[in-house]
Amino acid sequence: MNKKHLLKLNDYSKQEIIEILELAEQLKYETRHGIPHDRLRGKTLGMIFQKSSTRTRVSFEVGMYQLGGHALFLSSKDIQMGRGEPIKDTARVLSRYVDGIMIRTYSQKEVEELAYYSSVPVINGLTDDEHPCQVLADLLTIKEFKRKFEGLKVAFIGDGNNMANSLMVGCLKLGMNIAIATPEGFEPQAHIIDEVKEIEKESKGKLYLVNSPKEAATGADVLITDVWVSMGQEEEVKKRKAAFEGFQINRELMNLTNKDSLVLHCLPAHRGEEITEEILEEHEKEIFEEAENRLHVQKAVMVKLMAKS
């Protein structure tokens, strides 16, 4: 793998994604067995947070510590970006201090501009368009529980947002079928679909875009959902709750899936909205394994990008 940044999952080939997952498995084994793996000793990761997070902050910070390095938490209140400094200036300054930058923000363009001007690796911790680290964790979890990718059907029930966008890419690249069920008017953006259609041409998997949760869930091996109202959409709460009524992972939907189907959720979960308490607790094993896997895939990404920088 010879990549400089992780900005979106489509920048990576099938083989490169597999390499990350294989390294993540190795690092997970070493972590659980107390085997030191300080592959980033003396390295520092700058973590820019325009959007707050539990899992992203803790997993990257702990990951750098376990790899022998150090992580710096930089909120928008702590750095000059929050006071109007151009991203390109922040990129060029931080590049002289740290060995890698992780950013969790709103605009994908901000991440791409940061990477353009940065001389160190940039990792996308989340934008409104992409969530590559989370989907890598989802893929690792599917591999652990299903032991394969090709031929599986994954169904995403919810908003055509960053999770849906990155899931389509990851699933198709690894040969899975992916069904995205959204309410009308909440489908993934047209330019994202065009990009994914190109991936589908080379994939053994198929993409299905539907407005029926039942259609998506029928015959699924994995059901995935996300909150109906993401950060920055607080003014749309009433509108979104009305639009997403019926787009809940519940017993009725689970009865349409294949035997031993998985349920995944990137968390935090709003029980009683996108998923019922009953289903979440029945599938807590894979959901919280998925949460742990953020740590391991991100460590793998950091090693791949920063060990050689």
Which ranges in the chain belong to alpha helices (H)?
Answer: 14-32, 55-66, 87-94, 108-117, 132-146, 162-173, 190-201, 213-217, 237-243, 251-254, 277-282, 284-306
Q: Is 283 annotated as a binding residue?
A: no
Q: Is 266 a catalytic residue?
A: yes
Q: Is 78 a catalytic residue?
A: no
Q: Is 55 annotated as a binding residue?
A: yes
**Secondary structure element (H or E) that encloses residue 155, with its range:** strand 153-157
Say which of 131, 240, 283, 296 is annotated catalytic: 131
Q: Is 132 annotated as a binding residue?
A: yes
Q: Is 41 annotated as a binding residue?
A: no
Q: Is 266 annotated as a binding residue?
A: yes
Nearest Cα to Cα of residue 59 among 230, 291, 303:
291
Asked if residue 268 lies in contact with residue 51, where contact means CB atoms within 8 angstroms, the answer is no
Say which of 57, 99, 266, 283 is annotated catalytic: 266
Residues 6+ apart with CB under 8 A from 296: 24, 25, 27, 28, 31, 137, 140
Q: Is 260 a catalytic residue?
A: no
Q: Is 33 a catalytic residue?
A: no
Say which of 5, 57, 66, 104 is annotated catalytic: 104
Q: Is 171 annotated as a binding residue?
A: no
Q: Is 108 a catalytic residue?
A: no
Q: Is 305 annotated as a binding residue?
A: no
Say which of 50, 57, 226, 283 is annotated catalytic: 226
Q: Is 265 annotated as a binding residue?
A: no
Question: For residues 1 and 15, what is the distance between their CA atoms, to the nearest angstrom?
Answer: 8
Q: Is 250 annotated as a binding residue?
A: no
Q: Is 231 annotated as a binding residue?
A: yes
The token pair that represents 230 in the structure block: 């993401």
Q: Is 294 a catalytic residue?
A: yes
Which residues are known to be catalytic? Answer: 104, 131, 134, 226, 266, 294
Residues of the binding site: 53-56, 80, 104, 131-134, 162, 226, 230-231, 266-267, 294
Residues of the binding site for carbamoyl phosphate: 53-56, 80, 104, 131-134, 266-267, 294
Residues of the binding site for L-ornithine: 162, 226, 230-231
